Chains A and B, each alone.
Chain A
Amino acid sequence: MNAPFKKSRFSRRAILKGGAITVGFAVTGLPGRTLAQSAAIAARRLDPKEVDSFLAVNGDGTVTLYCGKVDLGQGLRISMPQIAAEELGIGVDKIKFVQGDTALTPDQGRTSGSNGIQRGGMQIRQAAATARKALIDLAAQRLNAKPEDLIASGGEVKPKAGGAGVAFASLIGGRQFDLKLDPKAPLKDPATYTIVGKALARPDVPEKCFGTHVYMHDFAVPDMLHARVIRPAAVGAKLVSVDEASIKDIPGARVVRVKDLLAVVADDEWNAIRASRALRAQWSEWTGLPAQADLAAALRTDPGIVDETLVNKGTPAAQRPDGAKVLTATYYWPMQSHASIGPSCAVADVRGDSATVWTASQGTHGNQETFARFLGLPKEKVRLIYLEGSGCYGMNGHEDAAADAAILSRAAGRPVRVQWTREDELGWDPKGPPQLIGISAAVMPDGRILDWRTELWIPKTTRGMPNIPLLAPEAAGLDHVPGLNPGLISQNGDPSYAAESIQVVAHWLKDAPLRPAPIRSPGKPANCFAVESFVDELASAIGADPVEFRLRGLKDPRAIEVLKRTAALMNWQSRPYQVASAGNGIARGRGISFVHYKHSETYVGMGMEVAVDRTSGRIAVERVACAHDCGQIINPDGVRSQVEGSILQTISRVLMEEVKFDRSRVVSVDWSSYPILRFSGVPKIDIDLIDRPTQPPLGAGEAACAAVGASLANAVHDATGVRLRTVPFTPDRVKAALTGKA
């Protein structure tokens, strides 16, 4: 008998009780400290090379999927189970989903860079494929059949020819696979998919509509204190003195201070808030921020510059041919906030020699070491558990709030919940850094592009940074790794189109005015705004139609299809830029842009129709058309929802958003000083999703963001003849440009 597995390979000691134990506490809001759960934790494997780290077939016929990536509202709660269920051969309703818990889920890296499905999902697919092969081999023994004559479907393995099957639970329920992920385990033919590719509903949506979804903000543990952190009066200010008597009349309120980390705590949340308002504290003077008006110019002359050539293709022409038109332009994208609707929140219980932190961080695993370092605990004694917060779109204040809570919990000797204020969130969330981009190129009358050169002035990521430096360990004088981490902000500085030579040079800056962090589609909205605006400037210089000009330089058939389908959605009529009419009325125009995200991922074409009020300078985006190819689509409604969100959020960033600061601190700290898009500014959106079932799935969470700025600027140029190169396109700025004052 050539049994592929001996029975002893399936460990009997590691019985997982249905997976419900781990899901249970997140739903009920109770802390995860039951005996049952401890037993499960002891048994969990976490190595992402092992099948058991991802999947457990439970005795009741369900399967628990342990996912290191987390659902931030982008729908991994359904798309990941779709991938696992499809590949295993079981109904998606039988999959239980556990996410982002350092004690339960494998480390699959941060949920960032739009790589949840693209990388994390593919690990899960491979784990499920490996598991399916093992289940079929086990069933072959049981049924005395050949594996190739069996099929896994509906949670059982059965003969392809028909007849009785054997349930997954009966084959391996409650036991482990003891298998490495097998990269050669055969994957299902996408033509046979019945679950992947379906617009299945997201399971969290009803809870969110009935108010029963337990957000990070709604989570509580027994004996928990409510804390408010008192932020310094200036970014670099130190705490001079605290007048604890100033809150003596507020019931139960007291001060907790760890060096410059100052907080008030109370059993009652409202009393904590009252105390935070009443507390008198004196901070040192600090005026270390640059002048806002000089920021863009200061980036170019920053003394800390290190140059690096990122792209160097072809050789610049020694002598430009006759008829070449040479253009240069500079574009600027300002500092922006993640601007989450719910200010960051976290709960931590740090007592004795262990820490449990409930956090809405996109990277629970990646923060385990960071938290262990500043708490001075071994990594395995620090557990971070993900709970969904208000959308974060990169690295907002979620991790800072978690660090606040951890340090305050240890100081207070009780579990602590920290809730940031609106002012904290807009003032102190780490920011998308400012980006200055200079481009020059020449264009021939026939559309050939020569001598393309992009220069980027951007902060450099510090090598080996585990995360961004968090506020609380810094203020509390605890061990942490200083440095910068703005994310991969130098990508897409080069065009997607053929040019005789292309150079991209980064002038890396050693510092950034405020703490930088990845913000949705790090760097790419700015780089693509510059590159795709400049492509239009070239087209305009030779009187070419912007779509035809682009198509001339594209070879990749997927790129060409995306651009053509965008043009079709726009009912695009070939013509050069219109000669703008003067006057005070409404001017209308159209614009288009194309982005091949990171030059290796999702393809996005975006067209816009805008109306510009010449009197007020107000831009109304009336319609957006987007063709989108992210390879194999796991859940079309999930992709559509992400594309809609990417478009609207980035329209907001392009039209309205800039962090304002004086020499001491951020001053745009509420929704009137940091306005974002409202319903009155929302356009009609038409999306054409291109599904390529036989291609690898690519990220859909942020690629469309990158195409927004240029499409909008190109439409404004078409409407008015004015080229906007500085974001945000505020009415004042547009008016200045229209009257030639910019």
Chain B
Amino acid sequence: MARYDLRINGKAQTVESSDADKPLLYVLRDLKLTATKFGCGLGQCGACTVLIDGAAVRSCQTTIDDAKGKPIVTLEGLGTPDKPHPLQTAFIKEQVPQCGYCTSGMIMSAAALLATNNKPSESDIRSALDGNLCRCGTHTRVLRAVMAAAGQGG
């Protein structure tokens, strides 16, 4: 069993794995960080999106070996009910999720966008989230929430 030093949500954690190719998605879920969802395992839907070095990545396509040593942020680490991220506040205010299975990935992709572009246009948001699929059809609310989180509500 090899040991991997991970930095997840600001906390150092050592994880053992016999497989260097184990996807980060399962590493996180084994650690009970279940906000990050399995959707396709193919990098096509965005449900498993997390931040690594501030960039949105698909955790199903990122191996534990790739992720070691780098700062990883999941939805649980982005904000909490006591200290919500502006996106979480906006998603709640706009009542975005229906089933909500895609919500975690949506918020993480949007967080990566806002970190580099704090006043995105609606078109910027559509581009940044185009790889995040939603089946319930909450897209218009997602767009409103991300605009609102960037202080461009109304």
Contacts and interface: CB of A to CB of B under 8 A. Distances in A.
A588 to B, nearest CB: 20
A686 B141 CA distance: 12
Interface string B27-51: 0011001111111111011010000
Given A74-B98, A343-B38, A211 B92 contact: no
Contacts of B91: 205, 209
A211 B91 CA distance: 12
A388 interface: yes
A671 B131 CA distance: 10
Nearest to A645: B137
B97 A270 contact: no
Given A72-B99, A217-B37, A270-B19, A680 B42 contact: no
Given A390-B101, A391-B98, A422 B92 contact: no
A531 to B, nearest CB: 23
A217 B38 contact: yes
Given A73-B99, A208-B103, A645-B137, A422 B40 contact: yes
B95 to A, nearest CB: 6
B137 A209 contact: no
B74 interface: yes
A214 B19 CA distance: 28
Contacts of B135: 339-341, 390-391, 393, 649, 676
B119 interface: no
A273 B30 CA distance: 14
B88 interface: yes
Interface string B83-126: 01000100110011111111110010000000000000000011
Given A73-B136, A268-B30, A341-B133, A211 B101 contact: no
Contact of A209 (B26, B38, B96, B130): B96
A679 B141 contact: no
A674 B99 CA distance: 21
B57 interface: no
A685 interface: yes
A525 to B, nearest CB: 14
A485 interface: no
B81 A215 contact: no
Nearest to B90: A209
Majority SS at the chain B contact face: loop
A676 B133 contact: yes
Contacts of B47: 341-342
Contacts of A340: 101, 135
B134 to A, nearest CB: 7
Query: For this complex, into which size category does the number of interface residues on chain B fall?
Result: 35 or more
B147 interface: no
A268 B17 CA distance: 11
Contacts of A573: none
Contact of A421 (B41, B98, B133): B41
Nearest to A274: B19
Q: Which of B40, B96, B100, B103 has the most A CB atoms < 10 Å from its CB?
A: B100
B143 to A, nearest CB: 7
A250 to B, nearest CB: 9
A662 interface: no
B14 interface: no
A27 to B, nearest CB: 13
Interface string A271-286: 0011000000000000
Contact of B129 (A647, A672, A679): A679
Contact of B97 (A73, A422, A670): A73
A208 to B, nearest CB: 3
B66 interface: no
A527 B50 CA distance: 42
A251 interface: yes
Contacts of B53: none
A111 interface: no
B23 A641 contact: no
B99 A389 contact: yes
Contacts of B40: 343, 422, 670-671
Contact of B30 (A269, A422, A644, A677): A269
A341 B101 contact: yes
A94 B30 CA distance: 36
Nearest to A678: B130
Contacts of B131: 678
Interface string A329-363: 00000000001111100000000000000000000
B114 to A, nearest CB: 15
Nearest to B125: A679
Contacts of A201: 92, 95
Interface in A243-270: 251, 268-270
Given A211-B104, A641-B98, A648 B137 contact: yes
A677 B2 CA distance: 41
Given A206-B92, A211-B104, A341-B101, A647 B37 contact: no
Nearest to B37: A342
B67 interface: no
A238 B137 CA distance: 38
A213 interface: yes
Of A204, A209, A648, chain B has the most CB atoms within 10 Å of the CB of: A209
B138 A670 contact: no
Contacts of A677: 137, 139
A79 interface: no
Interface string A74-88: 110000000000000
B6 interface: no
A206 B92 CA distance: 6
Contact of A341 (B39, B96, B129, B142): B39
Contacts of B35: 210-212
A270 B81 contact: no
A419 interface: yes
Nearest to A637: B95
Given A206-B81, A270-B23, A419 B92 contact: no
Contact of B139 (A209, A217, A270, A679): A679
B45 A209 contact: no
Nearest to B132: A679
Contact of B101 (A209, A339, A342): A342
Contacts of A637: 95
Contact of A205 (B74, B92, B130, B133): B92
Contacts of B137: 644-649, 652, 677
Contact of B41 (A213, A274, A422, A644): A422
A641 B126 contact: no
A149 interface: no
Contacts of A204: 97, 100
A73 B142 CA distance: 15
Contacts of B142: 679
Contacts of B36: 211
A133 interface: no
Interface of A: 72-75, 201-202, 204-206, 208-215, 217-218, 251, 268-270, 273-274, 339-343, 388-391, 393, 419, 421-422, 637, 641, 644-649, 652, 670-672, 676-680, 682, 684-685
18 contacts: A73-B97, A201-B95, A204-B100, A205-B95, A208-B103, A209-B92, A212-B35, A217-B38, A217-B101, A251-B18, A269-B26, A343-B39, A641-B138, A644-B137, A645-B98, A672-B44, A676-B135, A677-B139
Given A269-B29, A343-B40, A679-B127, 9 more contacts: A210-B35, A217-B101, A340-B101, A341-B39, A341-B102, A342-B47, A343-B38, A391-B98, A641-B98
Closest 8 CB pairs of A and B: A211-B35, A648-B137, A208-B100, A391-B99, A73-B99, A645-B137, A73-B98, A211-B75
Interface of B: 18-19, 22-23, 26, 29-30, 33-42, 44-45, 47, 74-76, 79-81, 84, 88, 91-92, 95-104, 107, 125-127, 129-143
